[in-house]
Structure 1
């Protein structure tokens, strides 16, 4: 322990030397008691010497004047041999007094503990603290002092100095780790921006793709005012590909995309949806104005272009639908109706723009029949649940099952959930269906040895009044622990009202429920938003899994999602796994859990129960490596 002693009286230095000479065991016991009192250590050790151990050894450096002491502190800091405690006399003529000495020492060494030793009261502790603070590192001892008082003070403050240095080092290490984490977060954010651009833009034209178009359409549907959705298709594009080759076809697509971007009404969006199909989204005051705007777009496409040295006469057809305040604004349905109008334009002779009307839509009649049948499905016992296992990657242990709803009608046979779920969502039947699914899922869960059941909740269910209380009441009635129910929601459900969703998810997590974000990567994700919500798992959409072996972009997106999840301590569940090769690629990417036909198709109640008790799935091993 390095101690600095500053006093202009030689006799005081002799007193200090006697005080810090080796002490016997009885004195060591006093030091332990002092340390225990200072540090609150009931056992009496407190980092100080125990009575049965040798006393502390102090390395004391003596100076008669303040300026010499200040120079000594500066040298000690430069040599990395700092002082733990400095005992300073207030009156030291000639030269600087103890107050100024303390101020300069503190400026050089912010960690040293300063003890003012004086028989006079020239300055108060407050005055000295103002220039040599902080106050918790300034102490007073009156002259004449007791040996034990000096030694105990030096011992306690030396150990405190060591503890402060260790704490400071730990804080610096923590600060460096925080900086590193912030750098990693910035890198993740940059990767996310790149991945999102790849996921939402067409590689050939760099125009927004189908995913971006659907996202923009969903956002516009939330706003007031009338807007139009148009589908544009090139006429006889296949002929260009067949006669001039795919390079010429690609060049023609790029040229047409630029023409559309120039011809779309101001503020409108042009997206390439695939092949020679484009989508337009723009503001319109009415149906006739929308049809006229599309007619101008079609005329703009009717030009002769030079494509790889060849003259190509181009033409296009268009179908358009508008949506006002009281109209159906479902993005998928708007695109479907615009497509119906496009097909009618092609039947009428091509090179035309057609406005959608209800006579084109057989789907409307089918929709009404489905809605009527769905309202009676429970009473007719037409609904059933199947369960698809979720397995841990590596061991293939079945950790849970996703409950999937099936509807088999007497009149029409099986109807896809992709057809009837959106209809139920819009007609409020979704609550009745959701209650049935949750009740039956929890009943079946009680027959499994320990797995959880994952139940999908639609945006409308998630936004129902007292959703948390509803879930808790259902689990209590079924006698099921919250940890065995995983609540699957889509990004649309939580980002429609982010603040309310964040509170709801937080309360669910507090109660012990598992939360999974379904179809991750296809909605409105961002690093900030995902970090904001209380989640347990991200489920990667099957479209990315399917494309991993063919497209670098899909593989890059999957890796980015996995890295993002790992940084946020979230589980990753890859959906739609159908081959051993995909299992291998997901192993390399780091996905923790898998789900798909490669392990099992959705199972009825009895086979699912057998698999739950078997615990492990037997599958073809994934071999080889994939970049």
Structure 2
């Protein structure tokens, strides 16, 4: 027999030794064992005739009921249970078969019991009541035949083995079900945690953009008006860059706590990302919404201590009123609040702006401008004008600044202050910048020695391989790099000072001229001119315009000129419009002048004539010596 073949233990309980001998003879090996198995299959549906697995049976013989009970107890304890128990009904002087069956059934509920009797004091129903269930209780009458006993033992053993296998399968299935239920509970807990995490900002613990959109959607479907505000911290990037991200993160947590505290139960606060927050306010009117938002601005505009650093908080807010139960798209509501926030930023920061339709119209106009700008180059709608830059001592034209103009057939003449920021927000700025650069470099071939000064936006300056791009441009044009002056603002270089310093150094190494435009309006001018490789400072026109009216403007101009001279830098005064300004700047030692008083911007042909002749329209009005009219 193979080790894995099934084995069934059979217990025979009878007080007559002759009966035990009959059992032994019945279970002696016979040639018709397969036939007996098939007969068992016909009697019980558990097995299929002809497919009955080989079955080995072992037999334990006892003569009294108490011995049988003890044997079953040992079998259960040792996990060597009996499959079938043949029990005689009358076994004097001990307990009878009915009581024996009852006790055995109490010890092992799964054993198959066969009551063997010629005469019984108990009916089958009485025995079944104590030794049931009926499907595990069977009867054989004495005297029995060998075939009858063998068939019953074989069939019931197969059934017992099948029940055991089924029980194991059910136990394994129950364990698996329990594991699956545990996994389901764990998944439910994880799902709940994931939903909670998916709706929470990890930095502040406040609701995030996803939670805000869901709350906004629900609010928009309810009756009654409410307001949605978008809040942005003012000059947060400056704080983040100068004091570090840890301070920046702590400032965001501090401001978030202030907003939640001041909004209270009458609103909903979420961090939308970066230094931007969204707030839902339960108000009925626009005036009430603006009033609530102004209180939030004042709450944020506080002197804070963040990791030992004194910081003055500041925030701008854009707010939009929403009529409830209108089904308005929450994304559109946020877009309108963002438009109002942009207007607040443009208005000087630290203010509240309520959305109105004119803001939306401005966006539509910007889109139309952007669409028109994409065709402006191909349709030759762009023009590059040139304004001369004059040396104050000799009054010679040393260079020209290239100024871009756009004559749109749909919108008329559009100034660069309008379309350049729009181009800056898209990749159009690179196409425009390349067109300007190519046009300006083409003019240099017709000029004797003057340079051309070209403005580069922050996005152009951060362009990948900016230096290599410029080198390729001047080489293709056959122009020396020192005839191209690159004008940038402090904003362009302040975003990433280390990278900007490296870029400017490499530009100077290649021979390009560098001018810092709008000098005096940035955050840290003295720091910038000391750190970066520069050739020229261009004084912002606002200071030149205020020289005759404000002592502060005149003092700033004089300070810039003296500082530049100490650092051996050129100084160009922009926006020179009067003779008095010319004389004052020359006396102050300003090295170069530019403005309408000298010449308005002219087209390429006129600029070439000026460059070749050395004469410019306002030259006759200025004495060659400073101080003389």
Deviation of 1:144 after TM superposition, in Å, equals: 2.7
Matches of 2:123 and 2:229, distance apart in 1: 83
Residue aligned with 2:113, SS = strand
Matches of 1:219 and 1:262, distance apart in 2: 23
Query: Superposed, which structure 2 residues align to 1:477-496 within 5 Å?
Result: none
Residue aligned with 1:139, SS = strand
- Matching residue of 2:141: 142
- Matching residue of 1:47: 52
TM normalised by structure 2 equals: 0.52
Matches of 1:149 and 1:267, distance apart in 2: 88
- Matching residue of 2:17: 10
Q: Measured at CA, do residues 122 and 220 of structure 1 come closer, stay the same or move farther in structure 2, by a change above 3 Å?
A: farther
Residue aligned with 1:58, SS = strand
1:84 aligns with 2:89: no
Residue aligned with 2:68, SS = helix
1:35 aligns with 2:46: no
Q: Deviations over 1:289-310 (max 9, x none)?
A: 3333222222221211112323
- The question of whether the paired residues in 2 share the 8 Å contact of 1:48 and 1:155 is answered with no
Residue aligned with 2:169, SS = helix
Q: Deviations over 1:359-381 (max 9, x none)?
A: 32238979xx9xxxxxxxxxxxx
TM normalised by structure 1 equals: 0.52
- The question of whether the paired residues in 1 share the 8 Å contact of 2:14 and 2:62 is answered with yes
- The question of whether the paired residues in 1 share the 8 Å contact of 2:90 and 2:120 is answered with no
Q: Measured at CA, do residues 106 and 46 of structure 1 come closer, stay the same or move farther in structure 2, by a change above 3 Å?
A: farther
Q: Deviations over 1:114-166 (max 9, x none)?
A: 11222345444444344333322111222332221111000000111111112
Q: Measured at CA, do residues 363 and 21 of structure 1 come closer, stay the same or move farther in structure 2, by a change above 3 Å?
A: farther
Q: Which structure's CA Rg is the greater one?
A: 2
- The question of whether the paired residues in 2 share the 8 Å contact of 1:2 and 1:82 is answered with yes
Matches of 2:213 and 2:325, distance apart in 1: 20
Query: Superposed, which structure 2 residues align to 1:58-457 within 5 Å?
Result: 58-266=57-265, 268-362=267-361
- The question of whether the paired residues in 1 share the 8 Å contact of 2:220 and 2:323 is answered with no
Q: Measured at CA, do residues 199 and 66 of structure 1 come closer, stay the same or move farther in structure 2, by a change above 3 Å?
A: same
Q: Deviations over 1:76-115 (max 9, x none)?
A: 1222321110111233333333222222212222221111
Residue aligned with 2:290, SS = helix
- The question of whether the paired residues in 2 share the 8 Å contact of 1:129 and 1:138 is answered with yes
Residue aligned with 1:39, SS = coil
Matches of 2:124 and 2:218, distance apart in 1: 65
Residue aligned with 2:44, SS = helix
Residue aligned with 1:329, SS = coil
Matches of 2:18 and 2:172, distance apart in 1: 45
Matches of 1:29 and 1:308, distance apart in 2: 93
Deviation of 1:62 after TM superposition, in Å, equals: 1.7
Q: For structure 1, which runs of at least 5 residues remain unmatched after alignment?
A: 50-55, 370-410, 412-627
- Matching residue of 1:417: none
Matches of 2:23 and 2:257, distance apart in 1: 90
Computed over aligned residues only, the root mean square deviation of the Cα atoms, in angstroms, reads 3.2
Q: Measured at CA, do residues 248 and 128 of structure 1 come closer, stay the same or move farther in structure 2, by a change above 3 Å?
A: same
- The question of whether the paired residues in 1 share the 8 Å contact of 2:13 and 2:85 is answered with yes
Deviation of 1:259 after TM superposition, in Å, equals: 0.3
Matches of 2:209 and 2:195, distance apart in 1: 13
Q: Deviations over 1:35-92 (max 9, x none)?
A: 23422766x325167xxxxxx6532212222111011011112223211101112333
Matches of 1:223 and 1:94, distance apart in 2: 88
Matches of 2:238 and 2:141, distance apart in 1: 104
Deviation of 1:32 after TM superposition, in Å, equals: 1.7
Matches of 1:144 and 1:219, distance apart in 2: 85
Matches of 1:116 and 1:324, distance apart in 2: 86
- The question of whether the paired residues in 2 share the 8 Å contact of 1:48 and 1:156 is answered with no
Q: Deviations over 1:567-605 (max 9, x none)?
A: xxxxxxxxxxxxxxxxxxxxxxxxxxxxxxxxxxxxxxx
- The question of whether the paired residues in 1 share the 8 Å contact of 2:221 and 2:327 is answered with no
Q: Measured at CA, do residues 358 and 126 of structure 1 come closer, stay the same or move farther in structure 2, by a change above 3 Å?
A: farther
- The question of whether the paired residues in 2 share the 8 Å contact of 1:22 and 1:57 is answered with no
* Length, aligned pairs only: 362
- The question of whether the paired residues in 2 share the 8 Å contact of 1:35 and 1:48 is answered with no
- The question of whether the paired residues in 2 share the 8 Å contact of 1:265 and 1:282 is answered with no
- Matching residue of 2:550: none
Q: Measured at CA, do residues 275 and 24 of structure 1 come closer, stay the same or move farther in structure 2, by a change above 3 Å?
A: closer
- The question of whether the paired residues in 2 share the 8 Å contact of 1:35 and 1:46 is answered with no
- The question of whether the paired residues in 2 share the 8 Å contact of 1:36 and 1:46 is answered with no
Q: Measured at CA, do residues 4 and 293 of structure 1 come closer, stay the same or move farther in structure 2, by a change above 3 Å?
A: same
- The question of whether the paired residues in 1 share the 8 Å contact of 2:36 and 2:150 is answered with no
Matches of 2:133 and 2:277, distance apart in 1: 70
Q: Measured at CA, do residues 242 and 78 of structure 1 come closer, stay the same or move farther in structure 2, by a change above 3 Å?
A: closer
**Which piece of structure 1 moves more, 12-21 or 249-258?**
12-21
- Matching residue of 1:396: none
